[in-house]
Structure 1
Amino acid sequence: MRRRSVASSLLATSLLVLTAPALAQPASAPTIGAQPDRAQPPAAKPPQADPTGTFAAPSSTGVSQELSGLRPLNIDDPDLKSVPPATRVLSNWRDAVTLVEARSPDLVIAIQEIARAEGLARQALAQALPAINASGTINQSLIPGTSFVPGVGLVEQRLTQLNTGISISQPLLAPRVWYGVGTAKLQTEIARMTAEDQRRVTFATVATGVVNVVTAERVSEINRVGLRGSLELLELTRRRADLGTGTKLDVVRAEQDVAAARSQIVSADESLRKTREALGLALGFKDAYGVEPNLSLNDVESSLRTLCSPGDIGSRPDVRAARAQLDLTARSVTDAKLAFAPTATLSSNTTVSHVVQSEFTNTQWSIQALLTIPLWDGGARYGMLKSARAQVEQQKERLGVVERAAAVELTQASRGIEVAEQSRRVATAARDLAAETTRLTRVAFEAGTATSFELVQTQQQLRQRELELALQEFEVVRAKISSLLASANCQH
């Protein structure tokens, strides 16, 4: 029994030396979360992290020299290579704001809608102002006419007649037209509120897209770390089977773990590509947009606070636009009633006609006042009035929906910060437990009561918990951005 125990100890010590490279996180992996200005979880005490971000393996002083002739682990797999960078890269948040202002399709459409509303308002005002028109005609006869000239007789002539005129028209009584001017101005204000809300939504979309890209890159990194650990465990399992201490079933299980890790990499990489493409679309590009590793998410949050001022639900632009839309539909009822009102127009016409062949010139000037009293139009005005009243009731319901949705969104966004903080605390506790488990497993391994495979697995779990904690840090930033923009005013 003592001889078997010594042999087992020697085998376990040999496996420890073999697993030393496996316990190190690959230095070639992108260190997105290693920047100093991003929120980072505190490093776990066991194992200690070196300046390159890799985790140091447990010490095996005196044993590694004796077994240095054993073949070390050399994991080389094409799936361990990171996803190629995007064709376009976002270096800082200021560049994102510039691109949003210049190229965001939704924001550009909303801004042009303001210009369109201003044009319609000018058209409404023009109907209440004087209209001045000038006209001129030339009539040339093609078949000569015959006229009698005293002392000459019959003379054939081709007459050329010149006619000019100026007309002026001024509405004297046009209550519906005058009321329409105020309605057009209100439509312009609604367009401005809609553009302001679209700016808020666009900023939220782009900021969330940036966080999603960073998170997807981190998830891709996590999966490659997991694949490396699975490949290392498979290699150790095969070596153990070659030494006669393992079974074929252990190898098959390790191969299944590698297959599952590869599947996660495929889905995570596709998710990363989609998040880059979504960010590119939000910025107005058809190409995928990546994020520089040194872009600070904390700077994104602080920059948004300078661009958007927080407020309450009532001051949110979409809520204000919905209330203004209710006022607009209420004005349509009054507009329908004004269709029953009479109208009066004053017009003046001046015409001058001249025949070139004769010296005859005719000048006329007329003034006309027209009073129109609508009597019966088949019931069209009554139908318009009924339709306007129905639209008012519809808009009241829409306003209620917008207010309730905004209130729930603000509540969820505020609660999201607390949930993200709680999740981060849970992730921190899980990371600390994984670190303590790794330390105890190391002690048990040195005492001969734990295997090297247990040590590898606990180290992999520690790396996983570390990266999950970093992801929760990103979730906290995302929650803060969502809470800020849930009730913010982002004026241009």
Structure 2
Amino acid sequence: MIALLALTLTVSTAAPVLTLDEALQAARQNNLDIQVARARLAQSRLLTNRAWAGYLPTITVGGSYTRNSTEAAVSFPGVPEEIVIQPYDQLAGRAEVRQAIIAPTLWPAIRNAGISEDVAELTTENVRREVLFGVAQAYFGAASYQEAIRAAEFLLEVNKAREADTQKRFDAGTVTKVALLRAQLDRARAEQDLVRARNSYLSAKLALSTLILREGDFTLELPPVPQVPSEDVDLVKQALEQRPDVAAARRNVDLAVGRRTGAWFAYAPSVGFSGLYQISNAAGFTGQNDIWSLTLSAQWTLWDGGLREISLREESARVAEATAQQKQAELRAVEEVSRSRLDYESAKANLSKAEEALALARETQRLTEISFKAGVATYLEVADANAALTNAEVGAISERLQTSLAALRLLRAAGLFTAATD
């Protein structure tokens, strides 16, 4: 009954398990870097509206009140009443409409605004993927440290049991004081390794909590090593098609070309229309209180001191810069895929050898323990077997972590990380 009660209390008070998918979902919702990127994207999505505003009509209205020091009036032959052209209290209202009819500089500006929005979306997507990649890295690291704690706890129990057994043998006079001291030293070293593993786990979990803004205690479950496409899949092609940073570099070239086109369009004339309506309690010389006018205007700048030529050369240089950056982004993607593939293959081979070494170390430790109890093996052989098992346990956990991280880096380099984890 007591054991059952203890088990019930342990289960009920255990910290909830946070899975990798839950951590990624929390990052999508709570991560501050992603929120900043989304806010900037919302601002960028207004660029097209801002560009179109230059081609939409502008309507302005206004009014005024003036107190004049004197009143002025004139009379004309045949007109029985004087016409007040300046009353003491003068009221006036004005309404004006302006509309661009032909505005060549606005045409590429509207197109460029749409391209800028595309670049902003791709940049936001790249930020989102980088943040989620960082969360996945932190999760795998913290989960591996958690496994290391379990391994350290198991090995500590083994060393404690070995110390207790050696103490009994020393009291019986069957082993020397050196064997007992060695057992105590191994136990102390195992305790130190456990403290180190726990501190590393808490530090890694704190970094993960900061990324996902998760409060409260939680435990992790070590996910399997992420699956990567087979060697038959052209990951370089996938990277050039799927990576948002590469796509953003291409769209930046289109944007630079569009801006250069806008510099050329500055040489073209523009045509506009305006309409004006005014009303006042001062009739003026016409004898009417309101007037209106319609104006069709054209403007053509023939020489502006060379500013257009400077802008054209500047935009041409930006096209060359954007083109070089596009090639740089594509070459970087190709290099990252190739290097990440090599790192993954190397890590996978190391993991296979580490798992083989762990299996051998466990069997060696088991047989040595049996031999020691039978009086065949010495305590030094037992200590060496335990040390080898400790190194094998830690090595296997480390190689599993490195393999998982290498797989994540390969998926990220190929632009497939989001598809593989969402």
Q: Which TM-score tier does this pair reach, normalised by the shorter chain?
A: 0.7 to 0.9
CA distance in 2, matches of 1:456, 1:405: 49
The alignment status of 1:208 with 2:137, answered yes or no, reads yes
Return 5+ residue gaps in structure 2 as ranges.
1-6, 8-13, 228-234
CA distance in 1, matches of 2:374, 2:74: 140
Deviations 1:437-470 (A, max 9, x none): 2355356546644213422442453355345435
Deviations 1:169-225 (A, max 9, x none): 222331111110000000111111122222222222222221111012222344455
Deviation (angstroms), 1:475: 4.4
Taking structure 1 as reference, are residues 237 and 172 closer, same or farther at Cα in structure 2, changes over 3 Å only? same
Kindly indicate whether the alpha-carbon contact (under 8 Å) linking 1:199 and 1:490 is maintained by their aligned counterparts in 2: no
CA distance in 2, matches of 1:439, 1:267: 26
Taking structure 1 as reference, are residues 438 and 273 closer, same or farther at Cα in structure 2, changes over 3 Å only? closer
Counterpart in the other structure of 1:488: 416
Kindly indicate whether the alpha-carbon contact (under 8 Å) linking 2:340 and 2:409 is maintained by their aligned counterparts in 1: yes
The alignment status of 1:396 with 2:323, answered yes or no, reads yes
Taking structure 1 as reference, are residues 444 and 317 closer, same or farther at Cα in structure 2, changes over 3 Å only? same
CA distance in 1, matches of 2:300, 2:103: 12
TM-score, normalization by structure 2: 0.76
Counterpart in the other structure of 2:3: none
Counterpart in the other structure of 2:339: 412
Kindly indicate whether the alpha-carbon contact (under 8 Å) linking 1:438 and 1:459 is maintained by their aligned counterparts in 2: yes
Find the residue that maps to 1:312 and give its secondary structure: helix
The alignment status of 1:319 with 2:220, answered yes or no, reads no
- Give matches, 1:362-373, under 5 Å: 362-373=289-300
Taking structure 1 as reference, are residues 181 and 433 closer, same or farther at Cα in structure 2, changes over 3 Å only? same
* Larger helix proportion of the pair: 2
- Give matches, 1:78-117, under 5 Å: 91-117=18-44
Kindly indicate whether the alpha-carbon contact (under 8 Å) linking 2:282 and 2:289 is maintained by their aligned counterparts in 1: no
- Give matches, 1:4-403, under 5 Å: 91-141=18-68, 143=69, 145=71, 159-226=88-155, 246=176, 251=181, 264-265=193-194, 267-284=196-213, 291-293=218-220, 295=221, 297-298=223-224, 312-315=238-241, 316-355=243-282, 361-403=288-330
Q: What amino acid sits opposite 1:114 in the alignment? A: L
Counterpart in the other structure of 1:46: none
CA distance in 1, matches of 2:363, 2:417: 47
Q: Percent sequence identity over matched residues?
A: 25
Taking structure 1 as reference, are residues 224 and 92 closer, same or farther at Cα in structure 2, changes over 3 Å only? closer
Find the residue that maps to 1:297 and give its secondary structure: coil
Deviation (angstroms), 1:168: 1.8
Deviation (angstroms), 1:313: 1.4
- Give matches, 1:461-472, under 5 Å: 461-462=388-389, 464-466=391-393, 468-472=395-399
Deviation (angstroms), 1:123: 0.8
Deviations 1:389-446 (A, max 9, x none): 2222222232233222222322333334433331222112212322342355356546
CA distance in 2, matches of 1:420, 1:441: 31
Kindly indicate whether the alpha-carbon contact (under 8 Å) linking 2:122 and 2:245 is maintained by their aligned counterparts in 1: yes
Deviations 1:374-394 (A, max 9, x none): 233333333322222222222
Q: What is the count of residue pairs matched by the alignment? A: 390
CA distance in 1, matches of 2:306, 2:203: 56
Find the residue that maps to 1:216 and give its secondary structure: helix
Find the residue that maps to 1:129 and give its secondary structure: coil
Find the residue that maps to 2:99 and give its secondary structure: strand
Find the residue that maps to 1:175 and give its secondary structure: coil
Taking structure 1 as reference, are residues 282 and 260 closer, same or farther at Cα in structure 2, changes over 3 Å only? same
Kindly indicate whether the alpha-carbon contact (under 8 Å) linking 2:133 and 2:417 is maintained by their aligned counterparts in 1: no
Q: What amino acid sits opposite 1:214 in the alignment? A: A
Kindly indicate whether the alpha-carbon contact (under 8 Å) linking 1:124 and 1:181 is maintained by their aligned counterparts in 2: yes
Counterpart in the other structure of 1:79: none
Taking structure 1 as reference, are residues 258 and 377 closer, same or farther at Cα in structure 2, changes over 3 Å only? farther
Kindly indicate whether the alpha-carbon contact (under 8 Å) linking 2:28 and 2:34 is maintained by their aligned counterparts in 1: yes
Deviation (angstroms), 1:344: 2.3
Return 5+ residue gaps in structure 1 as ranges.
1-27, 29-84, 303-309
Q: What amino acid sits opposite 1:109 in the alignment? A: V
Taking structure 1 as reference, are residues 235 and 112 closer, same or farther at Cα in structure 2, changes over 3 Å only? same
Taking structure 1 as reference, are residues 191 and 95 closer, same or farther at Cα in structure 2, changes over 3 Å only? same
Q: What amino acid sits opposite 2:219 in the alignment? A: E
Deviations 1:298-331 (A, max 9, x none): 4x959xxxxxxx9701221111111111211222
Taking structure 1 as reference, are residues 363 and 489 closer, same or farther at Cα in structure 2, changes over 3 Å only? farther
TM-score, normalization by structure 1: 0.67
Kindly indicate whether the alpha-carbon contact (under 8 Å) linking 2:226 and 2:404 is maintained by their aligned counterparts in 1: yes
The alignment status of 1:437 with 2:352, answered yes or no, reads no
Counterpart in the other structure of 2:4: none
Taking structure 1 as reference, are residues 350 and 148 closer, same or farther at Cα in structure 2, changes over 3 Å only? closer
Counterpart in the other structure of 2:230: none
Within the candidate set 341, 345, 348, 1:421 is matched to 348
CA distance in 2, matches of 1:447, 1:95: 51
Taking structure 1 as reference, are residues 447 and 230 closer, same or farther at Cα in structure 2, changes over 3 Å only? closer
Deviations 1:337-366 (A, max 9, x none): 22333322222212122249xxx6422222
Kindly indicate whether the alpha-carbon contact (under 8 Å) linking 1:197 and 1:489 is maintained by their aligned counterparts in 2: no
Cα RMSD between the aligned structures?
Answer: 4.0
CA distance in 1, matches of 2:369, 2:187: 25
CA distance in 2, matches of 1:255, 1:397: 64
Taking structure 1 as reference, are residues 191 and 165 closer, same or farther at Cα in structure 2, changes over 3 Å only? same
